Structure 1
Amino acid sequence: MEETIVGTQASPTVGQIPQQRGESLLETAVRYVEERHWEVFSGTWLEAVDGLQRCSCGDTACPAPGAHPARPDWATQATGSVTVARRMWQKQPTASILLPTGRTFDTLSVPETAGFLALARMERMGLALGPVTLAPDRRMHFFVLPGASVKVPDLVRKLGWSPQALDLVALGEGGYVAAPPTRFGSRGAVQWARRPTHANRWLPDAEELISPLAYACGRDR
């Protein structure tokens, strides 16, 4: 049975990170490659500077400290090879785990409040869902089949919404998401609102989720 834990804006409850006790970031990244066949690449990391946790990029105002690509050619570094993934995190063991979109999956990104509302509605509708992350930037990412970024604008228009009116973003080719347990500075770690399981290995199409997501984003405006 798949595990879904739905919360509210005031006190969202999320699933535990599917990480073994004492498991390193290297081991977690390798499991994403081995168990889900997701490509991964290592990003920035957090460094202690004068007692504060700062991003390795050096920007003191970094909006996603320790949770973004470390180099401009990151897309060419993403790998589905266990050997290459191990090498990445052996070089920098505390680097964030980032997943490129547009390859084995796209994501539909919505505000946290809308995301939890949509999750509850999807459960009532009995929809088959893929994994869902909750990040410290208060956004949720619903994993769907590749191609969503092309479809979503027209799907939203067919529902009577203007794509510009909803805070619903499809991430496809050229995008990425931070994977659990990557940390966003002192703001906390990315977690699973709906963890990867054998049952949700097959991802839904964006068209199957767009109605409850658009509805929730419309209410959240």
Structure 2
Amino acid sequence: MEETIGVTSAAQIPKQRGEALLDTAVRYAEERHWDVFPGTWLESAEGAEQCSCGDTACASPGAHPAREDWATQATGSATVARRLWQKQPTASILLPTGRTFDAIDVPETAGFLALARMERMELTLGPVTCTPDRRMQFFVLPGATAKVPDLVRKLGWPPAAIDLVTLGEGTYVAAPPTRFGASGAVQWACRPTAANRWLPDAEEIISPLAYACGREARR
């Protein structure tokens, strides 16, 4: 059963329950052709959950790469993905950026404001995640990291003045239903569907994102 948190009709967040990480990782590789790789996971220790990396002060418990060569471990093969999660069924699902997509990362409040504006503007959206640390990540075509700073400047914002980060080659995002410590799970604000298989270019959605982040900055 899925529950949704209504924000706008375009921004409903399904709470995914009871879905095996293995099945989900395989589906991302098989249906979306996304590279996937297993990250760390949560372990019970003295009545609490902590990251499998063993660092009690871990900044992203249960949701970061488990090995340094994660970029070479990432696979687009459903068969390999199944084998990887069979070894560690509770491993987080991480998606490398800069390959089939980049991601534009913004604060949650700005992200929902931008989603509402995008809906009114009838813009085409790709998948969008919402993380337990109150960030939203908008999937766009690769190459956004090179474009976004200049696009933001053209809209009248110094890039350093607003909380808008582009994730490209060498970075990654955590995919639903990966859990972040005690905070909850990554969820979809806009789910992957057949309609959003073709991602927008960063240029198509940067205006409402920069506007929303600019409003946040003024606060």
Secondary structure at the aligned position of 1:7 is classed as strand
Residue 124 of structure 1 and its aligned partner are, at CA, apart by: 0.4
AA aligned opposite 1:60: T
Q: Distance in 2 between matches of 1:131 and 1:24?
A: 20
Query: Is the 2:148–2:166 contact (alpha carbons within 8 Å) kept by the matching residues of 1?
Result: yes
The aligned counterpart of 1:170 is: 166
Aligned to 2:85: 89
Structure 1 residues 212 and 6: alpha-carbon distance in aligned structure 2, compared to 1, 3 A threshold: farther
1:103 aligns with 2:62: no
Residue 39 of structure 1 is matched in structure 2 by 35
Structure 1 partner of 2:183: 187
Q: Does 1:218 align with 2:205?
A: no
Aligned: 1:59 with 2:59 = no
Shift of 1:7: 2.6
Distance 1:190 1:22 in 2: 14
> Deviation per CA, 1:133-163, whole angstroms, max 9, x where unpaired?
0000110000000000110011111111101
Matched, 1:155 2:151: yes
Q: 1:97-152 deviations in whole A, cap 9, x for unaligned?
A: 00000000000000000000000000000100000000001100000000001100
| Aligned mates of 1:177, 1:217 — CA distance in 2 | 20
SS of alignment partner, residue 15 of structure 1: strand
Distance 1:22 1:34 in 2: 20
Q: Conserved in 2, the CA contact under 8 Å of 1:136 and 1:187?
A: yes
- Structure 1: give runs of 5+ residues left out of the alignment: none
Q: Is the 8 A contact 2:5 2:14 kept in 1?
A: no
Please report how far the alpha carbon of residue 5 of structure 1 lies from its aligned counterpart in structure 2 after TM superposition. 6.9
Separation in 1, partners of 2:35, 2:29: 6
**Uncovered stretches (5+) of structure 2, i.e. residues with no partner:** none
CA distance in 2, matches of 1:215, 1:142: 15
Structure that is richer in strand per residue: 2
Cα RMSD (Å): 1.6
Equivalent position to 1:76, from 72, 90, 102: 72
Contact kept in structure 2, 1:14 and 1:191, CA below 8 Å: no
C-alpha spacing 1:83/1:48, structure 2 compared with 1 (3 Å): same
User: 1:122 aligns to what?
Assistant: 118
Query: Are the counterparts in 2 of residues 6 and 119 from structure 1 also a CA contact under 8 Å?
Result: no
Q: Which residue of 2 aligns with 1:16?
A: 14
Aligned equivalents of 2:31, 2:174: Cα separation in 1 = 17
Give the aligned length.
Answer: 212
Paired letter, 1:140: M
Superposition deviation, residue 23 in structure 1 = 3.2
Q: Would the alpha carbon gap of residues 6 and 107 (structure 1) be closer, same or farther in structure 2, given more than 3 Å must change?
A: farther
Q: Percent identity?
A: 79
Choose from 122, 141, 144 the match for 1:145. 141
Contact 1:6 1:120 in 2 (8 A): no
Task: Find runs of 4+ consecutive structure 1 residues off by over 3 angstroms.
Answer: none
Q: TM-score, normalization: structure 2?
A: 0.93
**Whole-Å Cα distance in 2 between the matches of residues 150 and 25 of structure 1?**
33
CA distance in 1, matches of 2:178, 2:197: 22
Instruction: Give the whole-Å Cα distance in 1 for the aligned partners of 2:186 and 2:59.
Output: 15
